[in-house]
Each structure stands twice: as C-alpha cells, then as structure tokens.
Amino acid sequence: MLAAPALSAASFSAIRELIRAVAGIAMTPEKEELVKARLASRLRELKLSAYEEYLERVKTDRVELSNMVDVLTTNKTSFFREPQHFDYLVQTVFPIWKAERRPRQIWSAGCSSGEEPYTLSMLLQAHLPTLEVRILATDLSLRVLTRAKAARYTEAVVQDVPSELRRKYLRHVPGEGTFQVAPEVTSRVSFARLNLMGDWPMKGPFDLILCRNVMIYFTDDTRTMLAQRYAALLSERGVLMIGHAESLASLEQPLRLIKPAIYAR
C-alpha cells in the first residue's frame, strides 16, 4: 500500500474546523495520524495526491463531504450496550407504560448501524407486545443507516443478544452465517438521516430519548444546546439516556439525574 501524503498543520487545522462546523465534533490535535490515515483512503479513491486538493473538493462536493464525515466519525456500537439502561427500562419504565396503556414514542439519536434501536424493539416485543410504540432512529452517516436498514448482523455481533431473544427475534440466514432481525422487531423502527447540529423536523413529544456515546465527541457548548433541545422534546416524565462515559453535570440544562447516565424532566 502507498504511504499517505504529508498532512500540513494548516490542512489538519482546516479539516478540524470543517468537521466541527458540519458535525459538531471536536477533534483533538492527537487525532492527526488517525485523520491522515482515514482520509488517505478517500484521496486514493478519488485519485488525488494532496489533502489540499481534497479540501478544495469537499467545499463543492456534498457527497464527498458526507463521505469525509463518515470516515472520521466513530460508529462503534453493539446490541445491549450498557445493559443497565435496558434493565432500568424493563424494571421501571415499561411497567408504567403497561399500566397507562397509551401510545409511546422513542428516539434513538445517533443510532449507528441499528443495534441500539433493535435492542429496544426486541425488549418491547418481549415485554409490551400489544402496546403501540414507535422508534425513530437517526444518524448523520448514510453508510451506517444503510447497514441499519438491512437489519442483518454477523454471528459475532448477535452474541450480545440474550439467547432467548436471539431465538425469538433473529433468523439465521442459510449459507451466510448472518442473522436477520425479525419483521415484528424491525417494523416499529423508522430510520432517517439527521444531523443533530441542524434543524429537527420532528415535533415529539418523546417518552424516551437515547443519545448515547454521541455527545462525548462534542464541545460543552454543543452538549448544553443538545440537552436543552432534548428536554424541550421530552414528554412529562420523559427520560433521556446518555452514555455512561458522558455527563451533563456542570452544564446549564433543565434535566435532573435520576440514575447514572439517566435524566428525567
């Protein structure tokens, strides 16, 4: 493989500025090698020989700008990631929903390749099969949304699903070694592209919003702005879940912490 071209300080700084403006992501100077390596693949694909040419290209090419954001963002996710959140839902939130029996709306903001919304949907199917609950799942990256909509995962990925739910809601695809999420689980999830930094067309209110392991890459100002916007979209007694490595403490926002990484209006 060819070595990546040199990345000047000015170009690295321009790339950092662009990714912050487009996606809200604050990249530290330590990310220089990572940026260089990941964008080198885009340069090769486009047959460009310098990052400066690439920067010129993304100024006018929206598709390539989206590719750039794709390769520079982290999409790591898994089924039942941070299981304390799902335990809380099953033990505390679902019994209330079951008793009140009205339609509910959930938003998985920054859903990556779909494991998070499908985890929610499997649990709903298992615990509240007749309740009307819709899940909106959004992400900035078209690449992960395509994978999410396909709803097909490798054997290694589905290992995180408890065996009983795996048996019920994941169908083995013969000859492929992959698993397809069952229609009763996929049907309550709608995927859409949405940049959290832009306008939000949905009105809510949402009974539950998950924005987990997304805000970790944002500045405090962006986190504050997002927490305020989430609070405005939550129903009364609505819940916001963030990643356990994230915090809203010290930010000016109206939600109160009720459990680690769980906030309520």
Ligand X SMILES: C[S@@+](CC[C@H](N)C(=O)[O-])C[C@H]1O[C@@H](n2cnc3c(N)ncnc32)[C@H](O)[C@@H]1O
Q: Find the shortest distance in angstroms from Cβ 231 to ligand X.
A: 18
Catalytic residue at 102? no
**At closest approach, how far in Å is the CB of 145 from ligand X?**
9
CA distance 28 to 181: 37
- H helices within 32-177, ranges in order? 32-46, 51-60, 62-72, 83-88, 94-100, 115-127, 142-150, 155-158, 163-169
Least distance to ligand X from the beta carbon of 144, Å?
Answer: 5
Catalytic option among 81, 104, 139, 212: 139
Taking the least distance from each CB to ligand X, the nearer of 124 and 214 is 214
Query: Which residues of the chain form contacts with ligand X (CB under 6 A)?
Result: 23-25, 73-77, 81, 110-112, 116, 139-141, 144, 195-197, 212-214, 243
Q: Strand 152-154 relative to strand 262-264: parallel, antiparallel, unpaired?
A: unpaired
Crossing angle of helices 62-72 and 32-46, rounded to 10°: 140
The answer to whether 228 and 265 are in contact (CB under 8 A) is no
Q: Which phi and psi angles does 189 have, rounded to 5°?
A: -110, 130
Residue placing its CB nearer to ligand X in the complex, 5 or 114: 114
Closest distance to ligand X from the beta carbon of 91 (Å): 20
Name the minimum Å distance from CB 83 to ligand X.
12
Nearest 5°: the CA angle 79, 81, 82 is 155
Known active-site residue 139:
yes
| Residue 5 vs 110, nearer CB to ligand X | 110
Q: Which is nearer to ligand X, 23 or 170 (CB)?
A: 23
Question: Residues with Cβ < 8 Å from 2, sequence gap 6 or more?
Answer: 44
**With respect to ligand X, which residue has the nearer C-beta, 5 or 189?**
189
| Residue 36 tokens, joined | 């260089």
Active site residues: 38, 139
